[in-house]
């Protein structure tokens, strides 16, 4: 095996074509975060993005996109922004993982959404988690029947709120694959507000993430692109989502809604309409990603599996990294496994968000008022 490390931008046309060929050949790799277009976009914005090109006697056997941070700390491409990572390779490719790290000049590689079961990384998987999906391969009606079987009460409640929203706020209209950048800005403003309200870090406070989202929104090709959806009541936007897709799979990324309409549960109403639009557009699946949101349990009609784990070469850097990361990862897993702990943690974060917003209002009332008006 020969391993050459390059920037994604330096891949030639034949190499990019081989990447797409490998991805299409394995259903387990049907995820836009594994697409060459995403790697190239990340490389345009971040200097630490690399890809290992793995060749054997017959040609290119695989690609390993990753981030190389200070001291040889390796992270999955996109890190906390993405819900899938791994090798884009022939299914039988089985490398010595530590030799791969050595070729990539990495001391350690920590992963939490790796495609489960890849031979190179399987020995280092410490936990495997289900990621719920909406599966439309048998048609939209078959999927909605599964949702009804999962929780008829929830579906009935959402349909009631959907009708109520239309009666009281204006006829509902759903926009699939909107190209309007102003609609995207509206959605991101809602999402930033949600991050602040719930005590999370506002990802869109980082300009490069905003730029990445805008770049992905502009991507339109048969095999890769951004999909912006918006639910309107009359002419007023009430809930939306921005995600990435391959030819057959849409991955959930940034859902949000206008809190003025919260009593109608517009986010779930939107998800039902997005599912129907996705199925009508020929998509086979919406990947909702692993996580502790209850609505995923009754919207799902199948699961994919992603793995958590860690690979390290003996070094002082790897030891320090273990001390800093492993206890946190274990604590996060415990919380995610127990609904009562997850809800308690969520309440604490939301309380922190309310306190932080209150302090900001006292310190800069005009700035907060303007920001609220924009969302």
Coil vs helix vs strand at 259: helix
Per-residue pLDDT tens digits for 221-270: 999 999 999 999 999 999 999 999 999 999 999 999 999 999 999 999 99
pLDDT at 361 over 70: no
List the domains of the chain with CATH numbers. 2-130+306-313 (3.40.630), 138-283 (3.40.630)
Per-residue pLDDT tens digits for 307-347: 999 999 976 555 555 555 555 445 445 444 545 434 444 44
300 compared with 361, residue with greater pLDDT: 300
Mean pLDDT of the chain: 88
Decide if 259 contacts 208 (C-beta within 8 A): no
pLDDT at 367 over 50: no
Per-residue pLDDT tens digits for 36-62: 999 999 999 999 999 999 999 889 999
Output the pLDDT for position 293.
79
Name the residue among 290, 273, 283, 170 with its Cα closest to residue 229. 273
Q: Global pTM?
A: 0.85
pLDDT at 375 over 60: no
Output the pLDDT for position 366.
39
Output the pLDDT for position 296.
94
363 compared with 164, residue with greater pLDDT: 164
Decide if 121 contacts 317 (C-beta within 8 A): no
Coil vs helix vs strand at 217: helix
Name the residue among 229, 301, 216, 298 with its Cα closest to residue 266. 229
pLDDT at 141 over 50: yes
């Amino acid at each position: 095996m020969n391993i050459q490390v390059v920037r994604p931008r330096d891949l030639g046309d034949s190499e990019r074509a081989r990447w797409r060929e490998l991805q299409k050949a394995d259903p387990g790799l049907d995820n836009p975060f594994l697409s060459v277009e995403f790697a190239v976009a990340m490389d345009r914005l971040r200097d630490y993005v690399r890809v290992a090109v793995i060749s054997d006697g017959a040609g290119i056997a695989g690609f390993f996109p990753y981030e190389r941070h200070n001291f040889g700390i390796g992270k999955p491409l996109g890190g906390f922004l993405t819900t899938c990572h791994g090798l884009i390779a022939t299914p039988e490719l089985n490398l010595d993982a530590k030799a791969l790290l050595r070729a990539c000049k990495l001391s350690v590689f920590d992963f939490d959404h790796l495609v489960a079961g890849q031979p190179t990384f399987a020995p280092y998987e410490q936990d495997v988690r289900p990621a719920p999906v909406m599966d439309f391969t048998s048609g939209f009606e078959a999927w909605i029947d599964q949702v009804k079987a999962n929780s008829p009460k929830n579906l009935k409640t959402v349909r009631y709120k959907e009708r109520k929203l239309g009666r009281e706020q204006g006829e509902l209209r759903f926009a699939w694959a909107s190209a309007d950048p102003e609609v995207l800005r509206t959605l991101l403003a809602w999402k930033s507000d949600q991050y602040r309200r719930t005590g999370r870090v506002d990802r869109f406070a980082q300009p490069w993430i905003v730029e990445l989202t805008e770049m992905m929104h502009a991507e339109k090709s048969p095999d890769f692109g951004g999909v912006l959806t918006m639910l309107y009541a009359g002419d007023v936007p009430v809930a939306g989502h921005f995600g990435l897709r391959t030819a057959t799979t849409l991955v959930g990324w940034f859902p949000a809604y206008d809190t003025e309409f919260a009593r109608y549960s517009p986010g779930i109403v939107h998800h039902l309409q997005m599912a129907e639009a996705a199925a009508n557009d020929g998509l086979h699946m919406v990947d909702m990603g692993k996580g502790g949101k209850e609505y995923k349990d009754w919207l799902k009609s199948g699961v994919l599996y992603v793995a958590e784990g860690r690979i390290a070469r003996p070094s002082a850097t790897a030891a320090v990294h273990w001390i800093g990361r492993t206890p946190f990862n274990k604590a996060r897993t415990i919380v995610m496994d127990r609904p009562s702990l997850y809800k308690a943690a969520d309440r604490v974060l939301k309380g922190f968000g309310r306190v932080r917003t209150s302090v900001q209002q006292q310190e800069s009332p005009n700035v907060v008022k303007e920001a609220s008006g924009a969302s």
